[in-house]
Structure 1
Amino acid sequence: MDVRRFWMQWVVMLGILLVFSHSAAAKEPSSWKVNILPQDKAVGVAVDDVITMTFSGAIQLKNSRDITDKSWLSLVQLVDEKKKKVAFAVKWNDSAKSLVIDPVGNLEAGKTYRVTLLAKKLKDARGELNPELSVAFATKAPVDNIAPQAVILPGHGAKQVKSGEKVTLQFAEEVALVSGETLSSKTAGKLVRVTDEQGRAVPHTVTWNKSKRTLTVKPKGKWQPHTSYHVHLVGGLLQDRAGNANNSQSSSFTSGAK
């Protein structure tokens, strides 16, 4: 009876030890620690930045071969926001356990990218295969430093312009008055000056079409026949959404017969 009790107690203790050992093994954290830069969800990343992966310990390919620069091309993936693969070059520093990923050409501004270390491609000193590791980041939005410019019609040097023809100045982007006033037909008159070949001011009206981003200039009356006219868009009075002020623009044309 004592022997049976002894064996039962021994079996129970063995079971408890197995449970604890299994629990400890299950809770043992992965040894894979990789520092990836840019960090996940980083924004404002420069378009010419490189991506780095720094490993906490020695690693090798899962087939136990040493890692080379070439081998990394099948271990890492870089894609854009449309999941299109982005070409890159790599440089592996084995002593520092650091990988530099250099996209071919600059990344696009204002776009999101994801870099991924594919799963089960590498193993550490304990023989543990790597999990998939991935970060996404966004590049810095493009900077608009181009002044708004108008396309003026009739074009510079045009001849035989009809006596009742309008002059249009159309912008490719939204513009507003630098002063903060609302741009409208009531406030657009100061934006355009018209003179004749003698340099005399020509009475005219200026209207603004917001949807077409167009200033329309009409003479009060008609253009005089066989006369040269000079249309001048005053600089520094308009600005785009980025705050770039417009430069002065000029165009000349010659009217035809009546």
Structure 2
Amino acid sequence: MILVLIAAVSAGAEDRTPPAIRVLPADGADDVRVDSQMTVTFSEAVKLGNGAAISSRNAGSLFVFTQLDNNQSVEVSVSWSQSQKRLTIKPKKPLAFGGTYQFKIPAGKVIDRAGNGNQAVLVMFRTEEAGPPLGVSVQPTHGETDVPVDSLIRLTFNKPVTRANKTEITNDAIANIIKINDSKGRRVDFIGSWDADRRMITLDPVGNLNGGTTYTVTLLENKIMDRQGVKNPLVISNFTTRPALDTIAPVATINPAHGSSNVSLSPKITLQFAEDILLPDGTPLSSKAVKGMILFFDEKGAQIDYSATWNKSKRTMTLKVKGRLQNYTTYTLILPAGCVKDLAGNVNKQAAVTFTTGNR
């Protein structure tokens, strides 16, 4: 009686369940990437329906993969993983954009260890639409001026992209894709980062950029590719940084220099500026204004009469003494503070020189 019960239990445990099959992309999937591969995963160890072992060489006989739009078979490469019980199917070229595909495994193509054959599997999916041509926008924009010197530079693509060799873009690869140069052609070092979700490359120049300088950002040709296999054209974008803030007061170089001796009794005295200057109220400088602003006196404090001229192109004030100076006498010339300002609004500080004449 006990033996009969055991036999009954053993008979009830017989495996009659067909192997389950999971296919990706799943049935009904939409917007599938055109560079996708398919996977077929079995729930248990299987072999061909004729009992032969499955291999990468014969696994192509298990399925039919068709593009329904033109009723053409999809050319694929197939690999089989016995340990993972998985079939990987990779199209030899990208799938068509906006295409409808059918993947079918007929019933009985595989069997499990108990000899149960699979049920038929039918999967249909649709690929992503083509979308616009590959494009990239650059910030700062081309021709932009007054760009802060601490700005980041961003290149944003209008669709998913990879490197032209079909590998993913990495931070380390960016230096081989994009260049930054200043107006003299010198290369600007930067730290690059890639944000795949935003399809954005960010360039952070090492240190601040120079003020008042034009920079060129170059995306090298054929370095980036979209899913359709279209590579990028050469992209060149220029921008100019904000001029450096001028906080330096205008300074005059005076001749004769301070401490000079044996100066001529009929000297040509000049005050030359290194930058353009105006009167404090913003009006242009004139010879008449120069005459009224410079103090010139001898060692006893007596004022020295002189004529003055202003040469705008040379940024030079010239003083000529009326008459002659005295032999072996010390003279002082002073340009008081606040007499002129530069184009940035910085006013001059007081400048003074003392010199001594000779006997001629």
Per the TM superposition, whether the score is higher than 0.5 is yes
User: Does the CA-based 8 Å contact 1:193-1:201 persist in structure 2?
Assistant: no
* Offset, 1:249: 0.5
Q: State the distance in 2 between where 1:108 and 1:151 align.
A: 28
- Equivalent of residue 323 in structure 2, options 214, 221, 224: 221
Partner residue, 1:236:
338
Is 2:298 the partner of 1:204? Answer: no
Choose 155-164 or 84-93, whichever is displaced more: 84-93
Residues 173/206 of structure 1: CA separation in 2 closer, same or farther (3 Å cut): farther
- Structure 1-normalised TM-score? 0.74
Residues 71/152 of structure 1: CA separation in 2 closer, same or farther (3 Å cut): same
Q: Which runs of 4+ in 1 moved over 6 A?
A: none
Partner residue, 1:155:
257
- Structure 2-normalised TM-score? 0.56
Q: State the distance in 1 between where 2:278 and 2:193 align.
A: 52
Query: Which structure is richer in relative contact order (CA contacts within 8 A, separation 6 or more)?
Result: 1
Q: 3-state SS of the aligned residue for 2:267?
A: coil
Residues 59/183 of structure 1: CA separation in 2 closer, same or farther (3 Å cut): closer
Partner residue, 1:90:
191
* Higher Rg: 2
More helix per residue: 1
Q: State the distance in 2 between where 1:183 and 1:119 align.
A: 53
Name stretches of at least 5 consecutive residues in structure 2 with no aligned partner: 1-68, 71-95, 100-128
User: Does the CA-based 8 Å contact 1:77-1:85 persist in structure 2?
Assistant: no
Is 2:131 the partner of 1:29? Answer: yes
Letter matched to residue 204 of structure 2: D
Partner residue, 2:163:
61
User: Does the CA-based 8 Å contact 1:206-1:215 persist in structure 2?
Assistant: no
Q: State the distance in 2 between where 1:216 and 1:192 align.
A: 11
* Offset, 1:32: 3.9
Residues 24-46 of structure 1: per-residue CA shift (max 9 Å, x gap)? 99x95336454532123322112
- Tell me the matched-pair count: 234
User: Does the CA-based 8 Å contact 2:164-2:231 persist in structure 1?
Assistant: no
Residues 41-71 of structure 1: per-residue CA shift (max 9 Å, x gap)? 3221122322122446654323233333332
Partner residue, 2:51:
none
Q: State the distance in 1 between where 2:221 and 2:282 align.
A: 56
Q: State the distance in 2 between where 1:247 and 1:229 align.
A: 20
- The correspondence of residues 1-258 of structure 1 with structure 2, limited to 5 A, is 28-30=130-132, 32=134, 34-55=136-157, 58-81=160-183, 84=185, 86-94=187-195, 96=197, 97-124=199-226, 126-132=227-233, 133-179=235-281, 183-198=285-300, 200-210=301-311, 211-257=313-359
Structure 1 vs Structure 2 CA RMSD: 3.2
Q: Percent identity?
A: 34
Residues 167-218 of structure 1: per-residue CA shift (max 9 Å, x gap)? 22122233232245653333322211012223x1322213113243322233
Q: State the distance in 2 between where 1:212 and 1:52 align.
A: 44
Name stretches of at least 5 consecutive residues in structure 1 with no aligned partner: 1-16
Q: 3-state SS of the aligned residue for 2:165?
A: coil
Q: 3-state SS of the aligned residue for 1:120?
A: coil
Residues 152-172 of structure 1: per-residue CA shift (max 9 Å, x gap)? 111101112122223221222
Q: State the distance in 1 between where 2:342 and 2:308 align.
A: 19
Q: State the distance in 2 between where 1:109 and 1:223 align.
A: 48
Q: State the distance in 2 between where 1:188 and 1:220 align.
A: 16
Residues 220/62 of structure 1: CA separation in 2 closer, same or farther (3 Å cut): closer
Q: 3-state SS of the aligned residue for 2:172?
A: helix
Q: 3-state SS of the aligned residue for 1:221?
A: coil
Q: State the distance in 2 between where 1:189 and 1:204 align.
A: 10
User: Does the CA-based 8 Å contact 1:121-1:129 persist in structure 2?
Assistant: no
Q: State the distance in 1 between where 2:341 and 2:303 align.
A: 26
Partner residue, 1:6:
none
